[in-house]
């Protein structure tokens, strides 16, 4: 089954139970007063983020989520039981919006973050509430309120420290396999990677670094060309963007490839083009003249771009690359804590809509 990162679903909170109309009927109390109990509140529909999920595949099989209604009130002032809340689990990194207006309800960037997507209706009051000195036998009660319902859209944006981007056949999957224990499909033909792949880079004295490999971009990707446009959203949260470029080309071509990638990022989202970046010149094992590597590094240095040369296939230059990545991520994380940069995973839930409650647990 393919990687699912978008879905539309319906949530319906439970209706409140109706209040009861009842009067005391005891042997020696011929004119007992009203004793109708209240109806129970309807259950809420709660969306909760969890690290146990990595895709929205479950929404392919189920798109309607209904909480239970509150029980009706009973005589002898017995209140109806509240409906049970329904918790819908989604992957960390999910963005919830209104399907009609596009209003942002929640951006769930923490494990355990949750928000109330639909609030249950209040239970109706029993007739015991309506007794007065002038009206001692009310023969009516209050109906329960309807629970909220709405159609929502969910979009998954992977939470990664490093986003690997590049043109098809640049060697991103091979590099991901070198940097982590991930085992992506690797082949010599374009668009081998059809969906984002995640790996974790472990280094001594550093926190684990999550690396995301995004399917190959081509010119015009932001307009829908190729596959990459579908997955550009997954690098929006990446702290550092690593441009993987095939160095086994004419010495001017790698720089042109870099400019293509930068242009696609700029057209998709300006902030991405300004994100901390590192260029990795891959496949240097295919260069017959080793002095060509120095020329390429010089070209990028003149363009003001941090660059490192590696061979993901043979492992040459991988250790220095790991250290460079760790340094960049550490620096970016420190800046994020000070400036509340988007990749900061300590941000509060974003919510919109007067009836939406958010919680952090």
Residue 1 lies in a domain: no
Q: Which of 334, 333, 329 is nearest to 240 (CA)?
A: 329
Q: Where are the beta strands (DSSP E) in the chain?
A: 6-12, 45-50, 64-66, 86-91, 94-98, 104-108, 113-118, 149-156, 162-165, 197-201, 209-213, 240-246, 276-282, 307-309, 357-360
Count of C-beta atoms within a 10 Å radius of residue 137: 12
C-alpha dihedral sign at 128, 130, 135, 140: negative
Please give the pLDDT value at position 252: 61
State whether 152 and 167 are in the same domain.
no
State whether 132 and 170 are in the same domain.
no
State whether 152 and 188 are in the same domain.
no
Edge-first strand listing for the sheet containing 149-156: 64-66, 6-12, 149-156, 94-98, 104-108
State whether 146 and 191 are in the same domain.
no
Using CA atoms, how far apart are residues 268 and 230, in angstroms rounded to an integer?
A: 11
Residue 108 lies in a domain: yes
Residue 13 lies in a domain: yes
State whether 116 and 238 are in the same domain.
no
pLDDT tens for the chain, 361 residues long, are 456 778 999 999 999 999 999 998 877 776 678 999 999 999 999 999 998 887 888 898 999 999 999 999 999 999 999 999 999 999 998 999 999 999 999 999 889 999 999 999 999 999 999 988 888 889 899 999 999 999 999 998 877 889 898 888 888 888 998 998 766 555 454 444 456 778 888 888 888 888 888 876 766 544 544 444 567 777 888 889 999 999 887 656 888 888 888 888 888 888 888 888 899 999 999 888 888 888 889 888 888 889 999 999 999 999 999 999 999 988 887 776 554 444 433 333 433 333 444 444 3
Residue 186 lies in a domain: yes
As beta bridge partners, residue 107 has 95
Instruction: Kindly report whether the global pTM for this prediction surpasses the value 0.75.
Output: no
Residue 316 lies in a domain: yes
State whether 151 and 197 are in the same domain.
no
Using CA atoms, how far apart are residues 305 and 308, in angstroms rounded to an integer?
A: 10
Residue 63 lies in a domain: yes
- Containing structural domain, residue 28: 6-157+348-360
State whether 184 and 311 are in the same domain.
yes
State whether 328 and 355 are in the same domain.
no
């Amino acid at each position: 089954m393919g990687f699912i990162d978008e879905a539309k679903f319906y949530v319906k909170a439970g209706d409140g139970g109706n209040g009861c109309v009842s009067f005391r009927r005891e042997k020696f109390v011929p004119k007992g007063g009203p004793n109708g109990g209240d109806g129970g509140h309807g259950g809420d529909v709660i969306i909760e983020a969890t690290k146990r999920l990595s895709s929205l595949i479950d929404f392919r099989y189920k798109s309607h989520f209904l909480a239970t209604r509150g029980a009706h009130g009973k005589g002898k002032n017995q209140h109806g039981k509240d409906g049970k809340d329904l918790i819908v689990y989604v992957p960390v990194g999910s963005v919830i919006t209104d399907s009609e207006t596009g209003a942002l309800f929640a951006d769930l960037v923490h494990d355990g973050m949750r928000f109330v997507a639909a609030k249950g209706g209040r239970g109706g009051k029993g007739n015991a509430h309506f007794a007065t000195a002038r009206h001692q036998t009310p023969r009516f009660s209050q109906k329960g309120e309807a629970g909220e319902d709405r159609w929502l859209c969910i979009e998954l944006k992977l939470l990664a420290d490093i986003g690997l981007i590049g043109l098809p056949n640049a060697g991103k999957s091979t590099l991901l396999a070198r940097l982590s224990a991930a085992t992506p499909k690797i082949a010599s033909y374009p668009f081998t990677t059809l969906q984002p792949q995640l790996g974790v880079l472990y280094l001594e004295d550093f926190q684990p670094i999550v690396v995301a490999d995004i399917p190959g971009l081509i010119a015009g990707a932001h307009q829908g060309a190729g596959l990459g446009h579908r997955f550009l959203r997954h690098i929006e949260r990446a702290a550092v963007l690593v441009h993987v470029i095939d160095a086994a080309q004419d010495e001017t071509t790698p720089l042109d490839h870099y400019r293509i990638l930068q242009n696609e990022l700029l057209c998709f989202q300006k902030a991405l083009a300004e994100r901390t970046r590192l260029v990795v010149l891959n496949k240097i094992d295919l260069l017959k003249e080793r002095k060509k590597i120095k020329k390429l590094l010089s070209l990028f240095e003149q363009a003001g771009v941090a660059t490192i040369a590696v061979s993901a296939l043979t492992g040459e230059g991988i250790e220095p690359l790991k250290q460079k990545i760790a340094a960049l991520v550490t620096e970016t994380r420190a800046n994020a804590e000070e400036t509340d940069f988007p990749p900061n995973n300590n941000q509060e839930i974003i919510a919109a809509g007067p009836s939406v409650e958010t919680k952090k647990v």
